[in-house]
């Protein structure tokens, strides 16, 4: 083969291709940034298991608080996420109601917070008030009020203990009480926690219940989050049903009946003047609506019971109705 001299353009292309190949093989280009201030994240499967665990907790807590407070209490699970302990404290109001929870089997403590928006209405109910004030109160909880709240805290910890029993036996107990988030330094600021946010609603009053469990504790229990938490329970056992019935047996419910008469448009309402007559005819054979805690449950008819008016239940309301 005859020798052929390379042109300067061909030589430049060779060096350019070699440089591009070296750049593609550079391991630094495949590296991903990592923040060493944040500890390892918990797997999504474990967070989902913790979410399902606390769904069972909020259902049990709703029935327990309803029976204890003699009121209709709604408890909803809002979120389950992993945060640093500093980020968790920054999300809490100041002042608030916080307790450090001792976990006898582990070295770390958990943290439970009840917002003042729900604490003070609960205190009014426990002290015998028939109507709960909606006035926003921003002050610290006194030592006497802490003692009054002790029964509510025992109920929360009991249901929390029962919920976690499916994974491990953890004896949650109150270690200390604090009102300022920044003063309760039970963990390092950068240490990760699993933050569980729960909404508690009593009538028109609502507030948050926040729980922080150290991530290291969850990782130690990682092997115990087995397949039983990957699927949602379809029905409660007979023992659970009997327990719920025992708790709600003494609770009270509000019954109300409504006559759904004719309607009037706003346009016609604005045209009304003195002397006009509105007919509110309601056929005597038409059933009336009977609601329980504001929800339509039965169809009924008006009857007399002695010298009082009463409602005779006809049938429960179905989706077709």
pLDDT single digits (tens) 161-210: 998 888 888 888 888 888 888 777 788 888 888 999 999 998 888 899 99
Supply φ then ψ for residue 148, to 5 degrees. -65, -35
What is the rounded average pLDDT of the residues 246-269?
Answer: 80
Same-domain check for residues 162 and 272:
no
Same-domain check for residues 237 and 274:
no
CA distance 9 to 136: 79
Domain boundary among 195, 217, 248: 248
Tokens of 266: 């706003």
CATH number at residue 265: 2.30.330.10
Whole-model pTM over 0.75 = no
Domain boundary among 194, 217, 248: 248
- Establish if 190 belongs to a structural domain: yes
Which residues span the domain enclosing 151? 44-248
- Establish if 321 belongs to a structural domain: no
CA distance 44 to 164: 18
Model confidence band, residue 4 (pLDDT cutoffs 50, 70, 90): low
- Residue 208: the pLDDT is 92
Domain boundary among 248, 265, 281: 248
Torsion sign across C-alpha atoms 198, 251, 160, 183: positive
Beta bridge partners of 213: 194
- Establish if 18 belongs to a structural domain: no
Same-domain check for residues 288 and 165:
no
- Establish if 87 belongs to a structural domain: yes
Same-domain check for residues 197 and 112:
yes
């Amino acid at each position: 083969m005859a020798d052929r001299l390379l042109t300067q353009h061909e030589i430049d292309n060779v060096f350019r291709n070699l440089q591009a190949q070296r750049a593609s093989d550079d391991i630094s280009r495949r590296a991903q940034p990592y923040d060493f201030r944040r500890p390892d994240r918990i797997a999504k499967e474990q967070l989902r298991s913790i979410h399902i665990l606390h769904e069972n907790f909020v259902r049990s807590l709703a029935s327990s608080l309803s029976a204890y407070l003699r009121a209709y209490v709604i408890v909803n699970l809002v979120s389950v996420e992993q945060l640093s302990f500093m980020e968790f404290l920054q999300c809490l109001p100041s002042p608030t109601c916080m307790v450090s929870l001792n976990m006898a089997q582990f070295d770390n403590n958990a943290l439970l917070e009840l917002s003042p928006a729900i604490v003070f209405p609960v205190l009014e109910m426990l002290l015998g008030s028939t109507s709960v004030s909606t006035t926003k109160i921003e002050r610290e909880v006194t030592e006497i009020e802490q003692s009054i709240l002790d029964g509510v805290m025992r109920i929360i910890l009991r249901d929390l203990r029962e919920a976690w029993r499916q994974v491990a036996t953890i004896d949650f107990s109150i270690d200390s009480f604090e009102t300022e988030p920044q003063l309760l330094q039970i963990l390092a600021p950068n240490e990760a926690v699993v933050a569980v946010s729960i909404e508690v609603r009593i009538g028109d009053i609502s507030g948050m219940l926040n729980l922080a469990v150290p991530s290291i504790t969850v990782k130690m229990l990682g092997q115990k989050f087995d397949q039983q938490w990957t699927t949602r329970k379809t029905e409660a056992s007979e023992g659970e049903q009997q327990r719920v019935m025992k708790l709600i047996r003494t609770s009270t419910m509000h019954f109300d009946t409504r006559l759904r008469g004719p309607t009037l448009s706003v346009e016609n309402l604005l045209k009304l003047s003195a002397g006009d007559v509105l007919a509110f005819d309601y056929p005597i054979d038409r059933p009336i609506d009977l609601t329980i805690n504001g929800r339509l449950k039965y169809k009924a008819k008006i009857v007399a019971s002695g010298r009082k008016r009463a409602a005779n239940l006809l049938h429960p309301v179905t989706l077709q109705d």
